[in-house]
Amino acid sequence: MRTLYFITSNKGKFLEAKEKLLPLGFSVVQKDLGYPEVQAESLEDVALQGITHVRMGFHEPFMLEDAGLFIEALHGFPGVYSKYVFFTIGLPGILRLLSGVKERKAIFRSVYAYSEPRKKPIIVFGECKGIISMKKQGTHGFGYDPIFIPDCAEKTFGEMTVEEKNQFSHRAKALEKLINVLKDSK
Ligand code: IMP
């Protein structure tokens, strides 16, 4: 069994990764080390800078993940600012910005970054297309889940179970890709 540390404070992200990686011989261990989420232009840059920071004090294989919501009518906002925007204007603020807007397309994007000492980091991406709902619906999940309806679904992530959300989610797709890379590198 290989130990793989997941640098995250988010229990939900950890449990999802743990369940998926266990059958592949990886024991995923959550490490809430924290790292500065620098203001960068892309999720990839945020993840890579996180890797650089964690590597300075931690010398085991680890992964971290960064995600964001990109709303077309708002030119990609909140994007890399998703966390800040969630804790400031929140869901009511986003719905207000879109009030009267018919074109409500949005994309959730996720980046997983995997690091092993002395090796180049591995970066994988996942995305989920959908629309922003007219109002908050559902109490499951976290963050923007209650206002995001993925394509091919009729309800928000906030109205779905974790298993349902994982069939669509940006993070599940990115994790699948990382698993394939790790499987090949075994
Ligand atoms: P982070 O990857 O944890 O930094 O997430 C950035 C922001 O996007 C946070 O405010 C999260 O709540 C939000 N976010 C990331 N992934 C999801 C998701 O799957 N559903 C809802 N919100 C998300």
With a 6 Å cutoff on the Cβ, whether 68 touches ligand 1 is yes
Asked whether the beta carbons of 150 and 128 are under 8 A apart, the reply is: yes
| Residue identifier of the C-alpha nearest atom 12 of ligand 1 | 143
Other Cβ atoms less than 10 A from the Cβ of 57: the count is 8
Pocket lining: 16 vs ligand 1, CB cutoff 6 Å: no
C-alpha to C-alpha distance for 138 and 160, rounded to whole angstroms:
8
With a 6 A CB cut-off, is 150 part of the ligand 1 pocket?
Answer: no
The residue length of the chain stands at 186
Mean pLDDT of 11-34: 85
Q: What residue owns the CA closest to ligand 1's atom 11?
A: 143
Query: Is the CB of 159 within 6 Å of ligand 1?
Result: no
Of all protein residues, the one whose alpha carbon is nearest to atom 5 of ligand 1 is 67
> What are the structural domains of the chain?
2-184 (3.90.950.10)
> According to the model, what pLDDT value does residue 20 have?
80
Backbone CA torsion sign across 171, 109, 7, 44: positive
Q: Tally Cβ neighbours within 10 Å of residue 117.
A: 10
What is the model's pTM? Answer: 0.91
- Averaged over 99-125, what is the pLDDT? 95
Q: Are 186 and 179 in contact (CB under 8 A)?
A: no
Distance 155 CA to ligand 1 centre (A): 18
| Nearest alpha carbon, ligand 1 atom 13 | 143
Q: Are 142 and 162 in contact (CB under 8 A)?
A: no
- For the segment 3-23, the average pLDDT, to the nearest whole number, is 87
Span from the CA of 81 to the centroid of ligand 1 (angstroms):
10
Q: Which of 10, 49, 86 to mutate to test the pocket of ligand 1 (most atoms within 8 A of CB)?
A: 86
pLDDT grade for 186, boundaries at 50, 70 and 90: low
Instruction: Say if CB 139 and CB 146 are below 8 A apart.
Output: yes
Instruction: Strands of the chain (E only): list them.
Output: 2-7, 26-31, 62-71, 105-115, 122-132, 148-150
- Cα–Cα distance between 107 and 170 in angstroms, integer? 9
Q: In what order do the strands lie in the sheet with 26-31?
A: 26-31, 2-7, 62-71, 105-115, 122-132, 148-150
Atom of ligand 1 nearest to the CA of 143: 12
Tokens 């993070």 -> residue: 171
The string of pLDDT tens digits covering residues 28-82 is: 999 988 777 777 789 999 999 999 999 999 999 999 999 999 999 999 999 999 9
Residue 112 has pLDDT above 90, yes or no: yes
Mean pLDDT of the chain: 92
Number of other residues whose CB lies within 10 A of the CB of residue 164? 15
Q: Which residue has the higher pLDDT, 2 or 92?
A: 92
Please indicate whether residue 70, judged by its CB atom, sits closer than 6 Å to ligand 1: no
Atom 16 of ligand 1, nearest CA residue = 67
What is the atom index within ligand 1 of the atom nearest the CA of 165?
A: 19
Amino acid 108: pLDDT = 98
